[in-house]
Structures are given as structure tokens and as C-alpha cells.
Amino acid sequence: MIDTRRRIYGRPTILADRSTHYCSGCGHGIIHRLVAELLDEMALGPRTIGVASVGCSVFAYDYLDVDFVESPHGRAPAVATGVRRVRPDAFVFTYQGDGDLAAIGTAEIIHAAARGERISVIFVNNGIYGMTGGQMAPTTLLGQRTTSSPTGRESSSTGYPLPITEMLAILPGVSYAARGSIADPGAIGRTKAMLRRAFEIQLSGDGLSIVEILSTCPVGWGMTAAESMEHVAQDVVKIFPLGVMVDRSTAAEH
């Protein structure tokens, strides 16, 4: 008799078997899982060196069972550059939030991209500084209330949301730039495909790959978990449209 059962869902081996410290409705849990699934599926775990940044996701190494180095705030692409250059065979990724990558770390990400560093950047954009109590980020939407823009972000004094992935996409050193979200199961599947492509491009020897992932911060946004997902799907995507911005890689797609 043929056993027709097959495993369709389980915990990736890379994903630690413990509860996260993340708030209910936070997107980090989903994104960690996507990364863990891909590292498993692509058999990359034993050669991975992750670079953790500053913010809620500094503890990514508690949930992803791979080697990790903690970076100072915003410096992850420089740290990853150092790792990459002395470890040509490693799989190297950074995991950065929007305060980290789009504010304090702009010089490091732009120049890692300009050099075409062979690293993959996972850029989690929830439009707010979550860990420090919900302050305005460069990616905060106009009109959005935060603890440091209490009457709503105004362009006259704080400028406009920073489309940094679009900015990076014009650089020839960037082999792949895309923006996904975790707002619904379909979007999660498409985001996973983007991450897979980004990882494949690193393995192929091409330049920097970045996937921006629109995520949530229900506590910082003053919303329920469900409302925050709805907000991403309805509002945030109007300012930060989803899709592949550039794919310069000649690596075959799988």
C-alpha cells in the first residue's frame, strides 16, 4: 500500500522552537519564518552568517538558528561587507528595519549597494521606530501620528516618506530590488518568491539584492493586529507600491 500522506507544513529547522518577544500582529514573526523556510529549502543554514541590526529585530538571532553578528545601528551593510569579503563562501544577509536602514544607516546601505556587495538585505519597513516607543521614521506616511509627530507627519517640517529602495534600484551595483508585504497570504507568498530570488542572486555571484517588506506595528500605530494588516494593504502600498523594481541578474530563476 502506498502512503499518500505528505508533510505540507511544519516548523523549519532553522526557526528556533520558542515564542518570540514580538507584539501580537507584528510582522517580524512572519518574515523570520520566510527567511527560515528559504534557508532550509536552499540548504544554506550551515554557511549562513546573518547580520542583526538595532531595533526590535536585534533579537533575530534568538529565533533563527544560524551564526549572527550584531551590528551598531545602521551599520549592518558595512559589517556584512567585512564578513563577505573575508568569507567568500558564506551566505550573508542583513536584517534591518526602516529606522536602521533608511535613516541612520543611509550611507552604509548606499555605498554597499554602489560597491555591488554580494549580500542580501532584508529591509523591514513598518514606518515607525517600534522598539523605542513609536517615533516617526523617514518612512512614516504623511499625516501619520507617532509619538514624535503627535499631530501627524507634515511635509512642511519633516519632508516626505523616503522611497529608499527605489533610490537604490537605480544603482548598477544593485542586482535585485523588490518590495513585498505581509498583509495577506498572497502577498506573503509573493514576498517569499522575492526573497528566494534575492538569495539566488547572491549565490550566483551577482551584486547586492534587497527586498523591502512592508510590515506592521499595531502597538506603535494604535491599531489592532487586523486593522494594521488592512492599513498596509490599503494605505501603505499607495505610497510604497509593491513589485520588482529591478532585476539585473542573469542568474536563472527557479
Partner 1 sequence: MTTRAEATPPPVRPILMKGNEAIAEAAIQAGCDAYFGYPITPQAELLEWMAHRMPELGRVFIQAESEIGAINMGLGAAATGARVLVSSSSPGISLMAEAMSYMAGSELPIVLVNVMRGGPGLGSIGPSQADYFQATKGHGHGDYRVPVLAPSSIAEMVDLVATAFEIAERYRTPTMLLTDGVMGQAMEPVIPIYRTPERTAGGWELTGADGRMPRVVRSIHLQPEAMEGHNRHLQAKYRTIEECEVRWAGERLEDAEIAIVAYGTSARVARTAIERARESGLAAGLFRPITLWPFPSRALASLADRVRAILVVEMSAGQLVEDVRLAVGDRTPVHFHGRTGGIVPTPGEVVEALRRAWSTT
End-to-end, the C-alpha distance of the chain in Å comes to 33
Single residue of 27, 48, 95, 200 touching partner 1 by CB under 8 A: 48
Q: What is the CA radius of gyration of the chain?
A: 18
Stretch that binds partner 1, among 86-94, 160-168, 201-209, 234-242 (CB under 8 A): 86-94
What are the residues whose beta carbons fall under 8 Å from the beta carbon of 184, sequence distance 6 or more? Answer: 229, 233
**Does 191 help bind partner 1 (rule: CB under 8 A)?**
no
d(CA 22, CA 131): 10
**Does 85 help bind partner 1 (rule: CB under 8 A)?**
yes
**Does 11 help bind partner 1 (rule: CB under 8 A)?**
no
SS3 210: strand
Residue whose CB is less far from partner 1, 73 or 145: 73
Stretch that binds partner 1, among 28-36, 65-73, 156-164, 219-227 (CB under 8 A): 65-73
Residue type at 18 in one-letter notation? R
**Does 108 help bind partner 1 (rule: CB under 8 A)?**
yes
SS3 52: strand
DSSP code, position 18: S
* Buried-exposed string 99-137: b where 16+ CB fall within 10 A, e elsewhere: bbbbbbbeebbbebbebbbbbbbbbbbbbbbbbeebbbb
Single residue of 1, 8, 43, 86 touching partner 1 by CB under 8 A: 86
91 beta partners: 48
Single residue of 53, 57, 71, 140 touching partner 1 by CB under 8 A: 71
**Does 200 help bind partner 1 (rule: CB under 8 A)?**
no
Single residue of 36, 38, 80, 168 touching partner 1 by CB under 8 A: 80
Q: Compute the least distance from the CB of residue 89 to partner 1, in Å.
A: 8
**Does 142 help bind partner 1 (rule: CB under 8 A)?**
no
Q: What residue ranges bind partner 1 (CB under 8 A)?
A: 45-49, 51-52, 58, 61, 65-72, 75, 78-87, 90-91, 107-108, 110-111, 115
